[in-house]
Structure 1
Amino acid sequence: MTSQSGEEDDESRSPDGDRLARGRARLAEITGRSGAEVMAALGEVAPDFARYIFEFGYGDIYSRPGLDLRTRMLATVAGLVALGHARRELEVHIGSALNVGASREEVVEVIMQMALYAGFPAALDALLVAKEVFAARDAAPAPEDAGRSDGT
């Protein structure tokens, strides 16, 4: 589409397009995935909601200065533990915390700390999610081995 000034309207030239691109890049940096599955999963029911996740969540909030990604992800894990009803997101964000440099011990300590504020049931559930995330990582092939099919 062409604007009144004769320039091409382009998603990447608009402020929202910048937020979307920045959000997609930040999500990929944190999770190691593009987020295309989120867009596809919500595409039929709420495509705008998926865009909001990218633009606001990752393009604005996760891209702010002031905290490094490791600290942001540990804070996110704490918040999700406190909610007590976000298992899917907790699983993703525990993995993301590990992706950006948090140790397993730090993740466990953050979850245990939340027992004081979110209660023991929420912390227990979160520790079991962390155990599953850790086990899945231990079972996954190393990145350099992922493409091998000869068993070496």
Structure 2
Amino acid sequence: MTDDTAPTPARQQIFGQQEGRILERLAALDPDLMRYVRDFAYDTVYERPGLDLRSKELIACALLVSLGSPDELRTHLRGALRAGASEQEVRETLLLCVPYLGFPRVVAAFAQLQALLDGQKKAPTREE
């Protein structure tokens, strides 16, 4: 971890053991950016009541498909699975994007999901 801030339940659930790597990557881009993402996006918005973390992550996946953000999408696909979404729920979320966003973005999203699932199969004891 790049800071003394303890992980919140949402960050811990979504990122797992990848949290330090993710925050270090963001801090290398810009330390303030990392703090904004960590403190606002995850420690404020993600900790709000009203939606469970699984739902928030499925929504985040759909939004990231719409933005065409593959690196962030892979993080949140992993996060959705870690937050309790089934593989089928993730697949259905991606398929729901087709009529709104088109096939190219959804095909790219499925490629990210497949890479993630393949990685989990190759190293089932290592946390993705």
CA offsets, 1:124-143, max 9 Å, x none?
11011111111111111336
**Greater Cα shift, 28-37 or 54-63:** 28-37
Q: For residue 13 of structure 2, give the secondary structure of its aligned residue in structure 1.
A: helix
What does residue 78 of structure 2 align with?
95
1:133 aligned residue: 116
1:106 corresponds to 2:89:
yes
Which SS does the other structure have where 2:120 is aligned? Answer: helix
Q: How many residues are treated as equivalent by the alignment?
A: 123
Superposition CA RMSD, Å: 2.0
TM-score (norm 2): 0.86
Counterpart position of 1:62 = 46
Larger radius of gyration: 1
CA distance in 2, matches of 1:128, 1:46: 29
Q: Which runs of 5+ in 1 are unaligned?
A: 1-16, 147-152
Contact 1:27 1:33 in 2 (8 A): no
Contact 2:11 2:42 in 1 (8 A): yes
Partner of 1:38: 22
Equivalent pair of 2:12/2:19 in contact (CA under 8 Å):
yes
Percent identity, aligned pairs only? 34
Distance in 2 between residues matched to 1:38 and 1:46, nearest whole Å:
13
> What is the rounded CA distance, in whole Å, between the counterparts of 2:113 and 2:26 in structure 1?
26
Equivalent position of 1:120 in the other structure: 103
* Higher helix content, 1 or 2: 2
**Bigger Cα displacement from structure 2, 36-45 vs 50-59:** 36-45
Assess, with a 3 A threshold, how the Cα gap between structure 1 residues 45 and 71 changes in structure 2: closer, same or farther.
closer
Give the gaps of 5 or more residues in structure 2. none
Runs of 4+ in 1 over 3 A off after TM superposition: 42-45
